[in-house]
Amino acid sequence: MYAKGKIILLAVCLLSISVAVGATDYKSWLPLIPNTLGGLTRSGEPDGINMEMGGQSWSSLHQEYSNKSNKKISLTIVSGLVAPQAQAFQSMSHMQMETQDQVVKTVNVSGYKSLFQLSKAEKNGSLMISVNQQTLVVIEAEPITSEKELLPLTEEVPLKKIATQAK
C-alpha cells in the first residue's frame, strides 16, 4: 500500500510539473532584450507576466522603444499555447490577403515561419515569428509603410537564443 501511494504521489507531482513548464518564465528572457531596436532606445522597463489558469500556462515579456520623432517599436516574447498571440498566430498563419488598406501574409524570417501584417491607412505593422512550437516573438512598429522596414529589425533580436531558451 505504501509503494502504491508513493507511485500515485509521484504521478501527481509529474503531472503538475508538466503543466507548470508549459511556458517559459518571462524573467529568463530579460537578458535577451536588446537595449536598442531599429536605432530607438528603450522607453521604460520591460513588462512581464507568468500566467496560469485552468491547468494551462503562458508567459509574456514586452518592451517598448521610441524616439523624439514619434517612431515606436515594440518587442514581445510569448510562450504557451494558450497565450492570446499564439492563438492569433495559429488562426492566421495560413492566411494571405491584400486589400487597399491591409496586407497579411506569411513570410520566412531566418528559417522561422512568420506572419507579416501591415495597415496601410494607419501606417503600422507587425511581424509574428514562431521560433518554436510554443514561442512567438512579435515586433510591431509605427509608422511603417512596407515589410522592408520591419524585416531588418529581426536581425537585432536574438531569435535563436530565444528559441533555445524556451524549450
Q: What is the pLDDT of residue 91?
A: 59
CATH classification at residue 75: 3.40.1000
Task: Compute the mean pLDDT over every residue in the chain, rounded to the nearest whole number.
Answer: 82
Query: Which residues are paired to 139 by β-bridges?
Result: 75, 127
Nearest 5 degrees, angle CA 134-CA 136-CA 137? 155
Q: What is the pLDDT of residue 17?
A: 37
Evaluate if residue 78 carries a pLDDT over 70.
yes
- What is the tally of structural domains in the chain? 1
Which range marks the domain in which residue 133 is found?
23-165
With cut-offs at 50, 70 and 90, classify the pLDDT of residue 166.
Answer: low
Any domain includes 105: yes
Instruction: Give the chain's largest Cα–Cα span.
Output: 71
One-letter amino acid of 52: E
Q: What is the pLDDT of residue 167?
A: 54
Quick: pLDDT tens for 4-31: 333 333 333 333 333 344 678 999 999 9
Cell of 19: 503543466
Any domain includes 4: no
One-letter amino acid of 134: Q
Distance of alpha carbon 13 from alpha carbon 36, whole angstroms: 42
Q: Average pLDDT of 94-121?
A: 91
Distance of alpha carbon 41 from alpha carbon 115, whole angstroms: 25
Any domain includes 87: yes
